[in-house]
Each structure stands twice: as structure tokens, then as C-alpha cells.
Chain A
């Protein structure tokens, strides 16, 4: 079982001051732009990119429970916490 500290690599720590936070820590109904994706897990990275979740895209978090529900452009995605930890958003 991975803990969160492993998922957030040292290079890409949460930088609250610049507003660069993982999607999993965002408040619902809040919008921003995807700044980058955590690249340490190639499987998740490839999946996210293929599905169109890419840096530069506007993103709005709609729900945190029962799963993370967010909107990029005109598409909605449901993901679990582990994936939401991989998406970083700036405001």
C-alpha cells in the first residue's frame, strides 16, 4: 500500500504559496489550470494523457466524495484518490 508521502515526490511537493496543489487537496467547485502531472508512475501518466488530462487545460473539481469528479474542457472524469494525487493544479 502506497502512502501519500511516496506519491508526492520531493521535486514536486505541494507548494501552497504558488497555488500549485494536487487535485486531491482542492476544494469542490473550485477551478484552475492543470500545471503538471506527477510523472513517476508511467501507467497512470499515460492513461491520464491519453484521456486528455493534460497540462494547460482548465479544470474544475465537482465532487470529492464518493470519488473525485472533475471536468476538463467539456469532459467529466471520475477518479480515485491515487489518481487525483497525480494531477497538479495552479490557480
Chain B
């Protein structure tokens, strides 16, 4: 197995000198609907790795990498999925702008071969825009399973572009695709579609008023289409030009354009987008009928028509039918309004509680922390270091109570790594089966009560892995209100993997305590969500989500994904843990550490914990998982009672987001929002801790 380059060159880091994958390289841009396998194809073409999962919206950022095809080097660009050139959501617009602004050598339009009829309108749009194009029919295996046969030669002739069939997860068709890329030359074929008297005259009029085509990055006709449908990016482009004042008459022409659009909308009896889309679909239907003679036979055709199929295809279809029937049966359980719930709990119990909490965070961590590091590595390193470096000051920094080796490295390797590793493993499996969209369908009704659509369950679940990552994924949500509510909930109530693993492990011997902890967190999640939905202006979001088929996760993708996430997490966590050790060391030298500790002792004692527990929260300021690691240490030495453990676990779960998540919140929602969220969280965490502690005390609960 080829191990990937871990940090694919994201747009953000590519501004740094030396990280530029070379602007002069010819660009291969992957575009297409969500969840058709763009990232998977990207991984086969480039030397980088983009995360591949089975739910729409896995990629929320543009990923760039280099790849060698034939004897030429290319820059390969993976884009977030989009449904058409006229985008609805924010992450689609990222891809749209990319198409406008980059001048690709070739654009690979990746489509799901099962769904030609639904996918080709976008291909036609791209052709109308004058994009140099290769059409990639991906997931050919699944199409064959469904008895779908496509005459690719004919399709290629009708569209005037190369067509390649692939199965990107198995690497099928990749060589063929590479050959096509190497010998590619743009055909310049632009489909001529008649849009009718409500559209065509206005299109021509807009076209004639537009400046030279080059300035827009796409053909004038396609740009006119976008303007007619009042596309935001297109409007921006026109008004941008106006502000630049590159031409004196621009101003008037912008108003002129607007009035044409208004006139056109007035004349038509339905929205223009509707009319245009229907015409384009009719054009596509004609093509599909010619290249897929059996298009409907799987469902409606009689046995007579089946005979015409080739034998090989029929055999494939036969084995496919069985596979599909099995997936159908599982699917109907997962999405069942009653049966779906116990299935969810089974997944939570075995996947997270037994495997991550008890096995990884319990058994494995115990072995690594106490046996490997506790009795072997650390004493040996301490002895060596003390012998080599006779300065107590430095000894303290490296091998003291909060030392770089004895604390930072030990925490990172023995505690955090096994837990997040186990977590990401379970996650990868869940992601690749396609369970997340089913979960979204299941919880939509409940999520509406807290101002979210079922779709928001995806970032919420991802938040259990890493809230920083999840905060970025909130981009896939539609309204600003929904994004804000989910960001708040992620910062407030969703514990990240390391934290959750440690808490599960600490409370695993204490089922009642675990239930109280889970109950309090869920209540707080619902309560704050409900409040936010009440307080924030705006309407409830609507829910629409494509359900990909259930798939059996591939071993190699799971391994690579888990490995790359663990690697990323470790690299992120280790320097921060080391930094924490250094800061604590400086703090203790100057007395600031004790001062801060003294200050933290007040709220700590207020929620009924011993003064020593203040360190946990002080660590928690730095990172939540660091705080949890501290809590693990206290629990190990038996310093806390059952009730105190629950209170500490609750408070820490609700505690401040880590620095990385804070920065991501700033990036996605702005500094003011990020500060407001944090300002609310600190007191509220202690308040809830106080309430729980007081209640448990008053009720005389002993855990």
C-alpha cells in the first residue's frame, strides 16, 4: 500500500513560499456532483491524499496535488461537489469560482454512471461554458450491478468529448483515463440547445452587451445563462468590472443587463431557471435514450427486452441483484422510524463505548501509560537525563512532574494517540458505509426543534472526532442561522474524541455516573439548541439530502484515512502539549502558575471538587483533551470520589473549546461570534457543574 503525503496542499498553506505546487503546471480540475468519487479519483491521479467517505459533502475545501501522467507533470485539483454551474450553497460557489478563475488544461467531469440522466445536464452546462472536458463515468461496477449498459463510444460522439468509464475505488479504468488526459486536445464543440422564445432572444441580447468573453473565464453564452438566472457570482463579476471602471459605459451596461433580466422574467410564466433546466433536461434525455437503450428496463421492461442484453452484462446484473437486495434490507432497518433507534444505540454501545471507551481508552491506555511509559520508559529516561544533565532546572523541564517527556510526550503517545486512533477507525467505517445520511434522515424531526436540519447531524457526529474539523464542515449547512447554531453546539456540548474516550474510560466502572454525565450533556445540548433556535431570527431550515447507496467499506481506504487523521492529530497535538509543558515550567519559575492555580481553585471548589482539581481546568484552557488527560491522572491516583468525577467530567465536557477550534470558529464565523461563544461557555460550564454537584449532594447520591 502506498502511504500518502499527509498534508495535501490546501489553498490556505499554498500562499507560503516554497509550498507552491507550481503555478505554471497544466491544471487538471475534478468537478461533479457530491459523492460521485472525485476525491477517490484525485487520490489515484495525484501523489496527495484527500479524505474519501460515503456521504455528500466530504470535501469542503479545494485540495491541490501534483501528479505525473505520461512524462508530464500536472497540478491536480479536487473541488467540493456541486450540482450545477448555477450553485445554491456556499461550498458549491467555491468550486464555481474556481472554474471561472483557473484556466484548466482539462476538466474531468466525474459522474455517477448509474445516473446519467441526472448527471449529464451539468456536463452540457460545462460544454456550453466552453470548458475543456473529459467525461468520467465513475462507479461503473454499481451501474453494471443494476443492469445498466452505456454505449460510451456513442456518448462520446454525441457530446464531442472523450468518455472514460472507471471504478475509482478499485483503480479500474485509471490507465485509460490517463491516456485520454495525455492526448487530450479541446474539441471546441458547443452543444446548441434551443431554449425557446422566453429565453433565447434575451440570451442573445445579454451576450451582445457583454464585453470580450475572456474576462469572464467562461463562454459568453454560459455567462449570459448565469446572469439570466441571477447567479450571484456572475452578478458580482459584472458589478466588479463596473467598480474598476475599466470602461466608461460599463455602468450603464450593468443596468441594461439587469433590465433585460427583469424583462425576461416578466414575460415568462415560470421562473427562468425552471424553464432553462427543463429544456436542458429534454436535450439530455434525447442523448440518454440513444446511449442507454435499456434505461428503464431494470424496472419497467418486460423479460423480452432483457434478452437483448449481452450475456456478460446479464451475469453481472444477476450477482448485482443479490447485492442490492441485501443493501435494501439493511437500509430499510437503518431508516426505520422505530427499528432505527436501537440500531443507533447498538452502534454507539459497541463502536464507541466498548471499543473506544473500554478497550482503547481503558485496556490499551492502561498498558501504555502504566506499563510501557510508567515502569519502563519514563524511569529509564529520567535516570539517564538526571545523570547526564545535573541541572535541576532543566531536569524539571524535561522529566519533572509536568515535564516535556514525562507529561507532554507521555500524554500524547500513551493516552491521546490510542484513543483518537480507535475513534478515527470506528468513524472511518461508519463514514464509508453511508450510515451518516441515514442518521440525518432519522433525526431530522428532532433536530428541527433545535433549529437545525437533519443534515447538521453530519458535523455534529464528526465533532466527536475533532470539533475543529467539524466546525469547518458546518459550511455544508444552508442558512447562516443553522451554521451559527451548530457552531455554538459544537463548541459547547460536543466533546472531542480524546476527551470523550478518557471520560468513557474513567466512568466505565460506574454505569450510573456515566448515565448522569450523558444525560446532563444531552440535556444541555438540547436546551441550548432550543434556546438558540428561539432567540436567533430567521426561519427553520429545510431538509433535503441525497442518500448514497450503502456500501461495504474498503479496507485500504479505512486504513489510509485512519492513519492520515491520526498522523494529522498527533502532529497538531504534540507541539501544543510540549508548549504547555514549557509554559507551565516558566509559570512555575515565575510563580505565575501557582497564581493561576490559586485563581482556578475558587470555581473548582465552588463546584464541590478538591482544590487539586484546579490543574485539570487550567490544562483544559489549553486544550480540552489535555484537561481530560489531567483528569485521567487524578482518577488514576484515586483523588476523586464518584460524584466528584461525574461533576468534573460534566464541567470539562462543557468547557472551553481548544485553541484550534477557537481559531476555526474565528475563520468561519468571525472574531466577535467566536469571542461571544467562548465568553458564554466558561461561566456556563461551571454553572452546570455547580447545579449537578448541588443536586447530587442534595439527593444524597453516592456513586
Which residues does A use to contact B, with CB under 8 Å? 37, 39, 42-52, 54-58, 63, 65-67, 69, 72-80, 82-83
Contact = CB atoms under 8 A, between A and B. Distances in A.
A78 B542 contact: no
Given A44-B544, A50-B83, A56-B285, 19 more contacts: A46-B86, A49-B273, A50-B88, A52-B115, A66-B442, A67-B442, A67-B454, A69-B441, A72-B118, A73-B117, A74-B114, A74-B146, A74-B148, A77-B546, A78-B444, A78-B545, A79-B542, A80-B453, A82-B542
Contacts of B115: 52, 73-75
Given A66-B441, A66-B442, A66-B445, A78 B544 contact: yes
Contact of A45 (B274, B340, B441): B274
B335 A69 contact: yes
A45 B127 CA distance: 24
B277 interface: yes
27 contacts: A37-B274, A39-B270, A39-B271, A42-B273, A46-B86, A46-B88, A48-B544, A49-B277, A50-B84, A52-B115, A55-B278, A57-B117, A58-B299, A63-B337, A66-B337, A66-B441, A67-B442, A67-B454, A69-B335, A73-B117, A73-B118, A75-B115, A78-B440, A79-B545, A80-B448, A83-B542, A83-B544
A31 to B, nearest CB: 9
Per DSSP, chain A at the interface is mixed
A58 B295 CA distance: 12
Interface in B543-564: 543-547
B418 interface: no
A83 B337 CA distance: 19
B281 interface: yes
A58 B441 CA distance: 22
Interface of B: 83-84, 86-88, 114-115, 117-119, 146, 148, 270-271, 273-274, 277-278, 281, 285, 296, 299, 335, 337, 340, 437, 440-445, 448, 453-454, 542-547
B86 A67 contact: no
A76 B441 CA distance: 12
B543 A44 contact: no
B445 A67 contact: yes
Given A54-B278, A56-B281, A69 B86 contact: no
Contacts of A45: 271, 273-274
Nearest to A80: B543
B281 A54 contact: yes
A64 to B, nearest CB: 9
Contacts of A50: 83-84, 86-88
Contact of B543 (A46, A74, A79): A79
A25 to B, nearest CB: 18
Nearest to B446: A66
